[in-house]
A and B are shown apart, each in its own frame.
Chain A
Amino acid sequence: MNQWIDACAPDDIDEEDLIAWEHAGRKYAIYNTEKGFFASDLMCTHEEQSLEDGLVIDCVIECPLHGGRFDVCTGKALSAPVLVDLKTYPVKVESGRVFVQVEG
């Protein structure tokens, strides 16, 4: 069953940036973009590389190792070398906190 988990405060993430967040042994990326907050798996789908040091440009996260790009809103893989979409998770901001809906 999916559940909403309190992940962080909105101010914990700079604009056009992301943080790494771990819950129940799983690693997530939470993004602060011009379109709002989003969440996805932390690891790139191309190779075993954390996106934590990646660049957020508009609503795109760029992997720091090879420059593969994903749309952070949908997880869609946008350009080589990434071809497999990134898994995304619903996010909401309530009572001054960012919540991520994770699979329970």
Chain B
Amino acid sequence: MPDYVPTNAASSGVRLDKKTLKSIATRTDRPGLIWLAQWTLGLVATGTLVWAALGTVWVWPAMLLHGTLLTVPAYAASHETAHGTAFRSRWLNEAVLWVSSFIFIEEPLHRRYSHTNHHTHTWHVGEDSQMPYNIPLRFAEWFAATTGIIPLIYHVKVLYVLATRNFSDMILKFTPEPELPKMTRNARIMIALYVLIAVLPLAGIWWPVWFIILPRVLGTPVMILLVLIQHAELQENSPSILESTRSFTTNRVMAFLYMNMNNHVEHHLYPQVPFHALPKLAEAVKDQVPEPDHGFVRTCAELGLVVLRRSLGRSTKAPTIRQAPRMITDGGPIHSIAQKTM
């Protein structure tokens, strides 16, 4: 028997009768295909804007828009397909996992296994391999992460580590040994493709710069803001997802880009539920979970304010977003609670 309890609905005291859960978790290809088609059409539209704006100053806002539409859904799709819940057809799921993980810059098996570990040990210090910042979060780290610098360094480092077989203890912990050679092979293929894309301008081919590379860089901040609010200011080492994880309300556009993952508490409770059914799941468990925080922008702004105040030695009580009691202080020196694992 393992010496831990996986963090999920059971460990959180949330119950849903089996028939309801089964009806919600039913897997089909259609919603995923519709989402994929809409994403592709959106990319064609914003890509056209970039093309039309080339040579003008308007190319930068166009690339920001295109980049956000490229990066956030790639992150969300990589996550959903790492779970295997985006489609009923397995081949479709794995194909989208590869493409989206390539855009996200993470080797697909590493994506899957590290996230598996994250679900088993959600927000457990030293166990959760996807703690992207030190706890408590400070302004300098929040800012560096939001610019995309820290995540980029992390992704490049992981690819290098996998490609050179210089595995960290954490990777060895969450990856079954037979999978390591596959991860090395995949990382090498991905690095070769990234190098190829990087040298294309030397051959006079610039379209990847305007349509992929710069947009991917510009789209990172919104993606990181989404990542940061998933667990920030909440309780570490708790068996309950209700204490460690945050859901927030948002508009239809953001819900689409993020594949409904604003229902993050519900996702961690029942990770087998596909993205399109998360609103239905949220409705089914709403009496058993905390009220979601209000809006993406407001949640991000309050988190930014809290970490700024913490770094200035001021009180850290947020106006409305949920916080673990120990995250709320009257100010003064910051006492470190946990080291990041990413």
Contacts and interface: CB of A to CB of B under 8 A. Distances in A.
Interface of A: 14, 17, 47-49, 52-55, 57, 62-67, 69, 79-81, 83
A83 B2 contact: no
A57 B88 contact: yes
B25 interface: yes
Contacts of B21: 53
A66 B116 contact: yes
B179 interface: yes
Nearest to B109: A80
A81 B117 CA distance: 10
A67 B85 contact: yes
27 contacts: A17-B22, A47-B2, A47-B120, A48-B1, A48-B2, A52-B18, A55-B26, A55-B27, A55-B272, A62-B272, A63-B272, A64-B271, A65-B6, A65-B8, A65-B271, A66-B116, A66-B120, A66-B271, A67-B83, A67-B84, A67-B271, A67-B272, A79-B90, A80-B176, A81-B112, A81-B113, A81-B116
Contacts of B85: 67
Contacts of B90: 69, 79
B120 A55 contact: no
B310 interface: no
B119 interface: yes
Contacts of B112: 80-81
A64 B22 CA distance: 11
Given A48-B1, A64-B272, 11 more contacts: A17-B22, A48-B2, A49-B6, A52-B18, A62-B84, A65-B119, A65-B272, A67-B83, A67-B85, A79-B84, A80-B176
Contact of B27 (A47, A49, A57, A83): A57
Interface in B85-134: 85, 88, 90, 109, 112-113, 116, 119-120
B6 A80 contact: no
Interface in B17-47: 18, 21-22, 25-27
A47 B174 CA distance: 11
B325 interface: no
Interface string B115-155: 01001100000000000000000000000000000000000
A18 B25 CA distance: 14
A66 B27 CA distance: 15
Given A53-B272, A62-B84, A67-B83, A80 B113 contact: yes
A88 to B, nearest CB: 21
Contacts of A55: 22, 25-27, 272
Contacts of A53: 18, 21, 272
A67 B113 CA distance: 11
B11 to A, nearest CB: 11
B178 interface: yes
Contacts of A62: 84, 272
Contacts of A66: 83, 116, 119-120, 271
A63 B21 CA distance: 14
Interface string B71-91: 000000000000111001010
